[in-house]
Structure 1
């Protein structure tokens, strides 16, 4: 009697069913192959456990190629549908139970996985979803690894500071008053700068446990070029470096942990504020009888990103006294070294589709309203 392959008294084994389905569907991009594989799986309920096990293997292989849970979910959301997202999340959770510990950021991504839907589809649809997802996972390219290096655990003071920053940015996103959003964002940036310098001084006293890390932040269409410019500006103002991967819709940000958190928080908040401002500007343009197009929105966000970048850079230059420069230069050198090891070859790109004068003007005005004010010099 064979186990896992072959037949037992004419009944195909579960492993063989899955293999036959994979041969039909995973290595053939046609709908016919997909339907054949899904039919095989739908007709053999005993193959379900093996199908899940193989899915977990695909997930584990993705980690070996440098992917993380949020990366996989982001790609699945862009390329496939909600049912594929829920299946990917379920497989990631199941695989995590047998995986090694991978650090705080990884754990947070597991916590943020979407919940399973309440209703289930028929067996053929479920099998089709699984095979479509596995097709995608099978073809994932290798990414630069973001393994978390040992670093100092955040103390209670740091946790309280980040909590205050999150609360301020949440209020800035929620308010309908530009002046209030500006004031709240400015206060958040002040706290970020103080937090960053405090971390730098602490690391100077005990440098061994701390080293630059990296994270990936989604830069989703539409208008992804302008969003990548905005993220690059936020990263630079917070002592980090960003490298944009346009095909996979994310940027890798390299920096020290406290600064990475600041970049994630501020970029997300500014993007929300920019979207609100763009919506208001479009409404005003339509009220004036002018029909707005995609070029208006692209130009708006491009101007917003550039203007915010200029103001963030000016604020960053005014934040630090001369006595702190050696500490920050040392950290900048470490960040640059980590980035160059991860990305030995990078190229620059120019913004495309920025041709709407009204969009550019309105975006610059919105950035002025969202500007981050200066604060007393540090050091």
Structure 2
């Protein structure tokens, strides 16, 4: 008996199913492999163990839980999202210690599995494993290294609460006051951390996080996120293929970018819905081009307002400290992304949408505040 025949006779149903289905896109091969697995319940533990190995391999390639879930949601179906979420949760106890952002992503996973017959479940699992097997390598992310309380839970909870109230209120004056207060807290937190870092024997270092930039109209959303990142002493690089932007910066600034971007996006969506309803009430039907132009104008105008506000955020005595941190952020970005291009708005053709978006951006809560000293 040859060694090859011995290996073949000893191969498990999971091995045979993988050989048949994971390296081809043919539906017939997928059906054959799913039938093998469905017929053998004893193969289930090994099948799950292999899935955890695929998840661990994704982490070694630079992926994070939210990145994987985002891609699975875009490429496959809800059942696959639940499957991969369950695998990520199952793999977590075997993983090394991670930072607070990683833990937050784990807490957001939805793992309720819908009932499927064995063949349908095996098919879904194999489709998911095909995708996980082919994940490319991404730039590895490190959580910001800080010896200070850069992620004070009470501070961030208060900021989130203020922004949530600003988004929910129907009174513009109240929304402006709430958002201005949230921005003041974010800026003060960032400056306090910068001063602590300047006085510390060993300086903190910048880290990076990924923020989802989901379709539709993702180009305008990426431009908006870039503007928010720049105004908060961060830099953003959009990865269109994977529906996220990588934001590089210090811990408090990354928190500010996530919070403010989310709030502005909520405000933009609400304003766009109202403006579109008014347009349709007047007999207009070209809603897609209206929305695209609206969000493009909103991103452009908010970017202008954020840049103008950023010029007066701090006093002259803090400029050297922030400049030093900006150099560190730029250096980290250049090492992660040696070649980057600027995202420019394209396909903006609806004048009414552009005007409405610009007006909405002027109403958005990005009010400047007194210089911080």
Instruction: Give the TM-score taking structure 1 as reference length.
Output: 0.93
Instruction: Pick one of 215, 220, 223 that aligns with 2:214.
Output: 220
Q: Which residue of 2 aligns with 1:127?
A: 122
**2: CA distance, partners of 1:64 / 1:31:** 30
Once the two structures are superposed, residues 246-284 of structure 1 have per-residue CA deviations (whole angstroms, 9 ceiling, x without a partner) of 111100000000000010011011101100100000001
Per-residue deviation, 1:128: 0.6
**2: CA distance, partners of 1:155 / 1:296:** 41
Q: Which residue of 1 aligns with 2:166?
A: 172
Q: What does residue range 1-379 of structure 1 map to in structure 2 within 5 Å? A: 16-117=12-113, 119-148=114-143, 150-154=145-149, 158-206=152-200, 208=202, 210-379=204-373
Per-residue deviation, 1:185: 2.1
Once the two structures are superposed, residues 95-138 of structure 1 have per-residue CA deviations (whole angstroms, 9 ceiling, x without a partner) of 11111102111111111111313x42100011011000000001
Per-residue deviation, 1:164: 1.3
**2: CA distance, partners of 1:179 / 1:300:** 23
Moved more, 258-267 or 292-301: 292-301
SS at match of 1:350: coil
Indicate how the Cα distance of structure 1 residues 218 and 155 shifts in structure 2: closer, same or farther if over 3 A, else same.
closer
**2: CA distance, partners of 1:176 / 1:191:** 23
Indicate how the Cα distance of structure 1 residues 259 and 237 shifts in structure 2: closer, same or farther if over 3 A, else same.
same
**1: CA distance, partners of 2:294 / 2:313:** 28
**1: CA distance, partners of 2:336 / 2:149:** 25
Once the two structures are superposed, residues 218-243 of structure 1 have per-residue CA deviations (whole angstroms, 9 ceiling, x without a partner) of 00010000000000000001000000
**2: CA distance, partners of 1:7 / 1:247:** 39
**1: CA distance, partners of 2:80 / 2:312:** 48
Per-residue deviation, 1:183: 3.1
Instruction: Give the TM-score taking structure 2 as reference length.
Output: 0.95
Query: Runs of 5+ in structure 1 lacking a partner?
Result: none
**2: CA distance, partners of 1:55 / 1:352:** 40
**2: CA distance, partners of 1:177 / 1:207:** 47
How many residues matched?
Answer: 369
**2: CA distance, partners of 1:178 / 1:24:** 60
Residues 292, 353 of structure 2: 8 Å contact kept: yes
Moved more, 359-368 or 292-301: 292-301
Residues 166, 175 of structure 2: 8 Å contact kept: yes
**2: CA distance, partners of 1:332 / 1:70:** 27
**1: CA distance, partners of 2:81 / 2:203:** 37
Moved more, 147-156 or 89-98: 147-156
